[in-house]
Structure 1
Amino acid sequence: MSWFIVVPKLRVAAMAIYPFILVQKVSYKNEAVLVNHEKIHHRQQLELLVVPFYLLYLLHYLYNLLKYRKHQTAYLNIVFEKEAYAQQQNFTYLSTRSVFSWIKYLRA
C-alpha cells in the first residue's frame, strides 16, 4: 500500500520514500505510469530493508556522476532507475517480478 503526499515544491514529478509517494501535483496520483514507476522503487526499497536502498542508490549515483559527468545521465544509469524506467509501463510487472530483479540491470 502506498500513501500519497502532495509536495508542490518538489523538484521532480514524484519520489518514492517508503511507504509514501511524494507527488508535485495532486493530478499525478492518477498518472498510472508514474505511480507504477514509484511502486517499483517501493519494492526495491523493501527488499533492501529501506535504508540500505538509499545508501546504494546514492553510491551508484555518485559513481555514475564521476563516470558520466552529467546529472541526468548519472541519474538515468542508476540501476534502480533502469529497472523502474524499463518496466514502468508494464502494469503486471510487480505481480511477476523476482526478488532483486534490479541486479540484472547492472549489466544493461
Structure 2
Amino acid sequence: MILVSKYLVPKGYSGLTLFPFILLKERRLKTDKRFINHERIHLRQQLELLIAPFYLIYGIEFLIRLIKLKNWHLAYRAISFEREAYSNDNNLDYLKRRPFWNFIHYF
C-alpha cells in the first residue's frame, strides 16, 4: 500500500518502505515506476527476512558503513539492501525473476 505524507518521510529522503507500506513524500512519485520498483524491492527484502530482522540488519550494516566511510550518504548507499535496490530499480521485471535472498550477493 502506498501512502503519501511529507511528514512521515525523513528530511533528505523521497520515500521509505515500512512493511507493508511504501511512504512517499510527494504524490508525483506514485507514477515514478523506477522509484516504486526500488521500494518494492525493499518490501521483498523485508518479507524474506520476516520484517524485524531486516531492520536490525539494515541498522547494524548502516552503522558499520558509517564508521568505515565517515559519510552518511555513502554509508546509506553502501548498505547491501540499498545496493541491490539501486542496481535493479530500472529493471521492472526484476522481482519476477529475483532469487530468494538475493541481497546477500551485495554484502
Normalised to the residue count of structure 2, the TM-score between the two structures is: 0.95
Paired residue type of 2:105: K
In 2, Cα distance between equivalents of 1:103 and 1:63: 16
Segment drifting more, 6-15 vs 83-92:
6-15
* Aligned residue in 1 for 2:69: 68
* Aligned residue in 2 for 1:94: 95
| 1:63-84 alpha-carbon deviations (Å, 9 max, x no partner) | 0000000000100000000000
| 1:23-55 alpha-carbon deviations (Å, 9 max, x no partner) | 001111111000000000000000000000000
In 2, Cα distance between equivalents of 1:55 and 1:69: 20
Q: When the two structures are aligned, how many residues end up with a matched partner?
A: 104
Q: Alignment partner of 1:98: what SS?
A: coil
Q: Alignment partner of 1:54: what SS?
A: helix
* Aligned residue in 2 for 1:23: 24
* Aligned residue in 2 for 1:8: 6
The percentage of aligned residue pairs carrying the same residue is 38
Which runs of no fewer than 5 residues in structure 2 stay unpaired? none
In 2, Cα distance between equivalents of 1:8 and 1:60: 26
Paired residue type of 2:106: Y
In 2, Cα distance between equivalents of 1:7 and 1:70: 27
Q: Alignment partner of 1:21: what SS?
A: strand
In 2, Cα distance between equivalents of 1:23 and 1:79: 22
In 1, Cα distance between equivalents of 2:41 and 2:77: 15
Q: Which runs of 4+ in 1 moved over 3 A?
A: none
In 2, Cα distance between equivalents of 1:5 and 1:34: 14
Which structure 2 residues correspond to residues 75-90 of structure 1 after superposition, within 5 A? 75-90=76-91
Which runs of no fewer than 5 residues in structure 1 stay unpaired? none
